[in-house]
Structure 1
Amino acid sequence: MSTYGLRLAPFRGLRYVPERVGSLAAVTSPPYDVVVRPDGQRHLETADPHNVVRLILPNEEDPAARHRQAAWALFQWQEEGVLAADREPALYVYEQRDGDLVQRGLIGALRLTRPEERVVLPHEDVMPGPVADRASLMRATGANLDPLLLTYEGGAAGAAAEIVDRTADHREPLLTTTTEDGIRHRLWALTDPAEIAAVDADLASHQALIADGHHRWATYLRLQEEQDGPSPWDYGLVLLVDSARYPLRVRAIHRVLPRLPVEEAVRAATAHGTFRVQDIPGPLDHALQALETATSSGNAFLLTGDGRFRLLSRPDPRRLDESVPHDRPEAWRRLDAAVLHSLLLDRVWQVPDTPEYIQYIHDARAAVTQAEQLGGTAVLIHPVRESVVRELAQQGVTMPRKSTSFGPKPATGLVLRSLDLE
């Protein structure tokens, strides 16, 4: 690991002016790739004319026009006083509270490091299309519009986490809002030089795991490479959470195969004894419990989309061994996502990994609804443990794409980073 470790710099946050919008909740959005409703983008756009989704997912057909639209909106909203920059650079303490679950962390501009330095550990591969799209958007806007989610293991006496908790427990927040999913968000500005120095000294000995935002991290690195020398592009906006204090939830990312009917998928998956199939009674929650039980003894998947639930389990060991690559650690070869893609998608169903054939949806209920509407198949999978993710990442082994969904994810729109302010 690099001796430099994590370096989180303060920045002048660009934030919504509460008096100029309907509500702070109405201008926020989930991350750009987690808008799960079929009408999710339209729902957000109509929540408030200044909803941040108009910046992160502009709706013009032509990509260049989309990104010009976002850049113009960002400029116009600042001119109109809808968005305003904080007076001094800060690290931002951010808290999310969902019932009994509390997550706290620091939002700042993280110094970018080369992959070989092993300071920031990815655990998933990326696709060139989304990276190119995000890079074009960031170039056009000159901004980091939403923070990546990173975790690190600070330990019992981590100074950064102590400062985060002290700030959240004893100071008045800059803002408080509750989004429609019921999560309460609070934000504080940390500007004291001594506290910022203490955070810097603590983080310098740590490495971080990318929990959410692999494509944006790859975008940060690409944009940095394009610069001739030192610049604000040497940093990228992140939320950094100490998982020793605030363990993240790890959820699965499900697949919807719009061009593969369920009956056809089941028939092919069970041919020649490749998988055992079992009908599972609903509702969805009950079927997901059956999936969880089945995964305790091996790879299993839940297929639905026609009102019924079928559990695929007990894959044929010979076909499994033939299909899953042997150049990876055994822990990787046992992953449900590895088996799903290597055996089912590639060999049995022969489904190309392109947006027309595979949709990645974070919410199980939304995946089922989408499959039913399209006449396709929802493949529901069980989440992998965080310890497995971290173990593989530390070995430099990436998991199959879209293997995990860490959360809660930061709301987009609470604080933006404009590179023009640095």
Structure 2
Amino acid sequence: MAEIQPVRAWRYNPELNQQIDRYVSPLFDVVSAKQREQLYQNPLNSIHLSVPRGDDAAGEALRRLTEWEQTGVLEQDALAGIYVYYQYFRLPGSHHEYCRKGFMCHIRAYDWQERVVLRHENTLPTAVNDRAELLARTQFQTSATHGLYRDEDFELERYCDEAIQDPLCQTEEDYQGARDVLAVIQDAAVIQRFQAVLSQRQVILADGHHRYEGSLAYRQARLAANPQATGHEAWNYHLMYLTNAAADDLRILPTHRLLLELPGNLTDAELLARLEPYFTIRPLDDAFSMPEIIAGKPWAFGLYLGGQPYKLRLRPEVHEQLAWNTTPEVKALDLTVLHYFVLERALGIVGPDAQRQWTGITYVRNFPECLQRVDSGEARAAFITNEVTMDEVERVCQSGAVMPPKSTFFYPKTLGGLLFTSIRDDEPVPYAPFTAGL
């Protein structure tokens, strides 16, 4: 199954590393434009490598990377290792502290059809091309994607727990309120145990589909130009943060659907009339009760429309009308039901492709924000959803299908800037691929 490799990471020099909060950056699509602009104002922030700006953005990233290496802003660790990465966090309204445990390493960039790395989302070609161009110009992995493997025995966590006692760096509190801690394992025997465990596992891609496909595109281009390649060159690999799907501290938060407009200028009453053949509709007294009322109930949603909250639940007998050409695992999802019976049947936005391109919908994770934007008139309606479960993610991935857009929000998000990795031609692969019997 999955081949992983330790890496000789590039990291901020020891002086800068002591103030790592100033140089880490979040994923581009989870912060506001104002927050991004603040990051760009710091000339040494990692966002300049991960999401460069300018007419020649990839060229600008290469120029800055070269400067940082030559002036010692970034330094490469002397030994290869598996980099342990823990995130300590709390969920809104709870005092319980979670700890998501994982580690960063290189994984071979497997084509989807190899069924080693599994996806659950579609990608946009333009975004994939941008990531591939950045990789081709810099030959530098600037932010790890997030992958999931399943190990009910939790064998690797004990090595990670030991390593995290001696951290390389840690944030005080990142933009999402999490505390991020980085450590390293450089013991060859332990690293081989990591390789052995992953060699028996598939990996589900949780976050970073565009960056992963960028690595695939770059690898394919290099293979086409180097037919004599051995397959062990550094550019065959991709930087990934791996966490155990069996862990309780792996959290997926819901992403609600906000309708900025109603097609054909439908009135509120007309929308309810169009929903009624498919859903039982019950008015509620308190809008803030919607998440609690729908919690754990399949095919149940909150609807906030014209200042009035409702509970919607699909009439079970109509589910068989769901006519999209997809797997039973996808048809069973709440969000598939929502997209088919609300967006297609009630609103006339026909088919997943049309729905992805429709500008009348946006995706919002913050529940109170949904209510506020409807009350202010910025949006016409909000559909409140339950979170997707890890079991559902695994079932869909194993079925070979993909979910509706913005189905999962794995929380917290990983940070960029804790480390970088090189896939340059002169970068050696530290260890031979693991084989049974080592």
Q: TM-score band, normalised by the shorter chain?
A: 0.7 to 0.9
What's 2:309 paired with? 310
What's 1:71 paired with? 62
Counterpart amino acid of 1:254?
H
User: Any runs of at least 4 consecutive aligned residues in structure 1 with deviations exceeding 6 A, and if so which?
Assistant: none
- List aligned pairs for 1:213-232, cutoff 5 A: 213-228=208-223, 229=229, 230=231, 231-232=233-234
Q: 8 Å contact 1:224–1:234 — kept in the other structure?
A: yes
Q: 8 Å contact 1:124–1:401 — kept in the other structure?
A: yes
- List aligned pairs for 1:135-284, cutoff 5 A: 135-156=132-153, 158=155, 160-168=156-164, 171-178=165-172, 179-228=174-223, 229=229, 230=231, 231-245=233-247, 247-260=249-262, 264=266, 266-272=268-274, 273-274=276-277, 275-281=279-285, 284=288
The alpha carbon displacement at 1:52 in A equals 2.2
Q: 8 Å contact 1:268–1:348 — kept in the other structure?
A: no
- List aligned pairs for 1:18-417, cutoff 5 A: 19-20=15-16, 23-35=19-31, 37=32, 39-46=34-41, 48-60=42-54, 62=55, 65-99=56-90, 100-156=97-153, 158=155, 160-168=156-164, 171-178=165-172, 179-228=174-223, 229=229, 230=231, 231-245=233-247, 247-260=249-262, 264=266, 266-272=268-274, 273-274=276-277, 275-281=279-285, 284=288, 286-292=289-295, 296-303=297-304, 308=307, 310-311=309-310, 313-315=312-314, 320-325=319-324, 327-329=326-328, 331-351=329-349, 352=354, 353-354=356-357, 356-365=359-368, 372=376, 374-375=378-379, 377-417=381-421
Cα distance change of structure 1 residues 128 and 278 upon mapping to structure 2, 3 Å threshold = farther
Cα distance change of structure 1 residues 223 and 363 upon mapping to structure 2, 3 Å threshold = farther
Q: Secondary structure at the match of 1:227?
A: helix
The alpha carbon displacement at 1:157 in A equals 5.5
The alpha carbon displacement at 1:368 in A equals 5.4
Q: Secondary structure at the match of 1:314?
A: strand
Segments of 5+ residues of structure 1 without an aligned counterpart are: none
Query: 108-117 or 235-244: which moved more?
Result: 108-117
Distance 1:248 1:296 in 2: 21
Distance 1:342 1:136 in 2: 36
Distance 2:213 2:102 in 1: 22
Give the TM-score normalised by the residue count of structure 2: 0.81
1:9 and 2:5 aligned: yes
Cα distance change of structure 1 residues 185 and 391 upon mapping to structure 2, 3 Å threshold = same
Q: How big is the alpha-carbon RMSD for the aligned residues of Structure 1 and Structure 2?
A: 3.0
Counterpart amino acid of 1:102?
C
Cα distance change of structure 1 residues 266 and 120 upon mapping to structure 2, 3 Å threshold = farther
The alpha carbon displacement at 1:389 in A equals 1.4
Q: Deviation string for 1:319-356 (max 9, x for gaps)? A: 65444425421x42131221222232234334542274
Give the TM-score normalised by the residue count of structure 1: 0.84
Distance 1:207 1:214 in 2: 16
Distance 2:334 2:267 in 1: 17
Which of 1 and 2 has greater Rg? Answer: 2
Q: 8 Å contact 2:254–2:385 — kept in the other structure?
A: yes
Q: 8 Å contact 1:302–1:381 — kept in the other structure?
A: no
Q: Secondary structure at the match of 2:171?
A: strand
Counterpart amino acid of 1:182?
G
Q: Deviation string for 1:84-140 (max 9, x for gaps)? A: 222222210111111420111110001122323322221222232322222223223
Segments of 5+ residues of structure 2 without an aligned counterpart are: 91-96, 224-228, 428-438
Q: 8 Å contact 1:93–1:106 — kept in the other structure?
A: yes
Distance 2:19 2:372 in 1: 30
Q: Deviation string for 1:178-236 (max 9, x for gaps)? A: 21433111111211211111211222111122122222222222221111333322110
The alpha carbon displacement at 1:38 in A equals 5.3
Tell me the number of residue pairs that the alignment of Structure 1 and Structure 2 aligns. Answer: 404
Q: 8 Å contact 2:163–2:184 — kept in the other structure?
A: no
Distance 2:393 2:149 in 1: 13
Q: Deviation string for 1:129-170 (max 9, x for gaps)? A: 322222223223322211111111112262x333112222xx
Cα distance change of structure 1 residues 319 and 128 upon mapping to structure 2, 3 Å threshold = farther
Q: Deviation string for 1:294-328 (max 9, x for gaps)? A: x6153324346x7x353351345676544442542
Q: 8 Å contact 2:178–2:412 — kept in the other structure?
A: no
Counterpart amino acid of 2:167?
P
Cα distance change of structure 1 residues 187 and 278 upon mapping to structure 2, 3 Å threshold = same
Q: What is the percent sequence identity of the aligned residues?
A: 27
Q: Deviation string for 1:14-38 (max 9, x for gaps)? A: 2223534893113222222222x35
Distance 2:400 2:346 in 1: 29
Q: 8 Å contact 1:6–1:119 — kept in the other structure?
A: yes
